[in-house]
A = this chain, B = another copy of it.
Amino acid sequence: MEIAKVHPIYDTIRRRRDVRSEFTGEAIPAATLRRILEAAHCAPSVGLSQPWDFVVVAGAGTRRIFQEHVAAERKCFGDSLPADLATVFKSIKVEGIMESSVGIVVTYDPTRGGPHVLGRHAIDDAGLYSTCLAIQNLWLAATAEQCGVGWVSFYREAFVQQLLELPTEVRPVAWLCVGPVSRFQDTPDLERLRWQQRRPIDEAIHFERW
């Protein structure tokens, strides 16, 4: 049976891409943005702590400052590469900050839920994990709405924290470029541009033990 016929979610999961170049720059309708953020907010969280927040950055000024920071970090990474990888890296676009419609910065607050978060006493990172689950809900909802998401990770957390005036305890987890796209690529950029190949799934599945 064709997998999308089993359930339409499989089609969304397969079409989802980490978008850099296909943003149209059109505005996201307010109701669409709301649905996408509600989807994120529906994610599971350790002890029902919901430790995430969403900062929607539309202003060109803030985005441009962030973009300059990202450009410097891109150079820093590029300079660290051996020559062959550096050549491949040159052709790779790492962000669509200005071309997308908005930035959505997803943050993690470890103090949310107070001192007794159920399920976090043994695993300190569990709240960080919850925040990422919200990000994936957001990403899939956006894909279903024909909006692209591009996760930018060429930045220093302290820079974003200061730029967006986050409280000291709040940590930025992702800067997501979001907006309508002309299309989703069939193949991930990094595979198409020969940075990395996808791993066969059978290598990732183990039974009973490693």
Chain B nearest Cβ from A27, distance in angstroms: 14
A98 within 8 A of B: no
Assembly CA distance A120 to B195 (angstroms): 14
Point out the residue from B9, B43, B151 that lies within 8 Å of A144, measured CB to CB: B9
Point out the residue from B41, B52, B77, B139 that lies within 8 Å of A133, measured CB to CB: B139
Count contacts on A: residues with CB < 8 A to the other chain. Answer: 96
Q: A50-B198, A141-B10 are in contact. Are A55 and B207 (CB under 8 A)?
A: yes
Copies in the complex: 2
Contact B85 A116 (CB under 8 A): yes
Assembly CA distance A14 to B208 (angstroms): 32
B-contact 0/1 string along A149-160, CB 8 Å cutoff: 001011111000
Residues of chain B with a CB closer than 8 A to A164's CB? 209-210
Point out the residue from B8, B49, B116, B199 that lies within 8 Å of A80, measured CB to CB: B116
B-contact 0/1 string along A12-45, CB 8 Å cutoff: 1110111000000000000000010111011110
Contact A53 B206 (CB under 8 A): yes
Assembly CA distance A39 to B3 (angstroms): 11
Residues of chain B with a CB closer than 8 A to A140's CB? 9, 13, 137, 140
Chain A residues within 8 Å of B, Cβ to Cβ: 3, 6-10, 12-14, 16-18, 35, 37-39, 41-44, 46-50, 52-59, 62, 73, 76-77, 80-82, 85, 89, 92, 94, 113, 116, 118-123, 125-126, 128-129, 132-133, 135-137, 139-141, 144-145, 151, 153-157, 163-167, 170, 173-174, 188, 190-191, 195-199, 201, 204-210
